[in-house]
Chain A
């Protein structure tokens, strides 16, 4: 059976890895390639790397860095940051990246998602939405590292993205980001009701139990986290961690492997 995905999310700022709190106060946590090597050893389900400078500094994706990351990754990689054109999708997938995410660009140019999906296939097109709750209980999409509020609601934009061909929607809660107080499950509920593509949730996970709760409610879903996998203890000492195979499987006890018809008794 398909399993939920437990995904470390790394933020790149000035060429190094950082962790932010509510999209501010970046704290340096290490070197990207080094982190990838550690996550390789820990058999991570999937890795997400977001370049948080590219869009705000109006810079193109750093292809050299992406190439190095992709070559080093022995797990699937999703890259995001500064992607605005179909040519950039083409180039990044050609570098060996499985999934490319877009965020602010889709607010200005939703058609980008359709064009990208047509070229590289919808499985590689991911839309990341940074969301914040508004007065009426719904969620609005923000861009530019939560610096700019768009007019789009999270549910309406995710429906449009799915219709255009996005293969995955990532919901990132701006107010929970970096706080380690748990996911914003209400935001997940609203978007999950709206679309049927795979979903990943980011922002707020402070423990594996937060991920367990998400999986118990939503079944097959991506549970992503930054702080949880890079900090340890109340002083937020930098230490990269990731649950082991058994620890991870406790988060989805309902999943049982399929016996193989080719299996022999001695195996």
Chain B
């Protein structure tokens, strides 16, 4: 069973609907004991770093999540759900969960009024290519022409090269998916990325 963490941020229902269509058992989880039966966990998110951290603390789910990570259960963070897995973020002052060594940084502010160049507009908003470093596991079947929806101005800079799972080109390459052991994170929104996102969520369920 996939547990979708409901801490008041991110589109939990969109994940649940996709798993329902795939005939994969999934549950929206709002209480710590419900998390106990989840074999795999999704930590969704939309929003600013500190706001998300406060919401997660307030939900009472943090220690149950940390327990699950410690037991080696696969966890997938999405967007700010992934960014929270870092040690810190330039967007906020609160410490992150520290599950993956690294920090969240703001894209360089190259924006000039009148710019028509994609590389200079922030936030990075829209559909972009994701180039996985490993065509198995989470990105099985997603190595050719896969594209995903992005909406962010901050990105994950992992400390270890080994943590890089995929990269994306936005005025230069940056890390758009990370992994450390059983902890996975994607910057884009698979729940809003049509067939490609559905494939990724299916892959996560089948890990």
Binding site for B on A (CB under 8 A): 1-5, 43, 45-46, 70-76, 93-94, 96-99, 118-124, 159, 167-168, 192-198, 218-222, 257-264, 267
Q: List 24 A-B contacts (CB under 8 A).
A: A1-B169, A3-B147, A45-B127, A45-B149, A46-B149, A70-B13, A74-B197, A97-B46, A98-B151, A98-B189, A120-B48, A121-B91, A123-B151, A123-B153, A124-B46, A167-B123, A220-B126, A258-B169, A261-B133, A262-B135, A263-B144, A264-B143, A267-B135, A267-B144
B125 nearest CB neighbor, chain A only: A198
Count how many pairs of residues, one from A and one from B, have CB atoms less than 8 Å apart in the complex.
170
- Shortest A10–chain B CB gap in Å is 17
Q: Is the CB of A76 within 8 A of B51?
A: no
Residue of A nearest to B170 (CB): A2
Q: Chain A residues near B144 (CB, 8 Å)?
A: 260, 263, 267
- Indicate whether A93 sits within 8 Å of B128 (C-beta atoms), given known contacts A99-B151, A219-B116: no
Q: A122-B123, A263-B135 are in contact. Are A75 and B113 (CB under 8 A)?
A: no
Q: Would you give the shortest CB distance from A47 to chain B, in whole angstroms?
A: 10
CB distance from B202 to the nearest CB of A (A): 14
Chain B contacts for A193, CB-based, 8 A: 113-114
Question: Does B105 have its Cβ within 8 Å of any Cβ on chain A?
Answer: no
Nearest-neighbor residue (CB-CB) of A159 within chain B: B113
Once bound together, how far apart are the Cα atoms of A55 and B122, in whole Å?
29
Answer yes or no: B117 CB below 8 A from chain A CBs.
yes
Contacting residues, chain B, for A118 (C-beta < 8 A): 48
Q: A46 CA to B47 CA in the complex, in Å? A: 18
Asked if residues B48 and A257 are in contact (CB atoms below 8 Å), the reply is no
Which residue in chain A gives the minimum CB-CB distance to B119?
Answer: A2
For the complex of A and B, the 9 pairs showing the least CB-CB separation, nearest first, are: A96-B11, A196-B111, A121-B48, A71-B13, A220-B118, A262-B135, A263-B143, A260-B131, A123-B123
Nearest neighbor of A90 in chain B, beta-carbon distance? B51
Tell me, in angstroms, the Cα distance from A168 to B12 when the chains sit together: 24
| Chain B contacts for A3, CB-based, 8 A | 126-128, 147
Task: Check: B94 CB closer than 8 A to any chain A CB.
Answer: no
A259 touches B151 (CB 8 A): no
CB distance from B51 to the nearest CB of A (A): 6
Give complex CA distance A259, B167 in Å: 11
Q: How far is the CB of B168 from chain A (nearest CB, A)?
A: 8
Which residues of chain B from 110 to 146 have a CB within 8 Å of any chain A CB? 111-118, 120-129, 131-135, 139, 141, 143-146
How would residues 60 to 81 of chain B score, 1 for a CB under 8 Å from any chain A CB and 0 otherwise? 0000000000000000000010
Note all chain B residues with C-beta closer than 8 A to A194. Answer: 113-114
B24 within 8 A of A: no
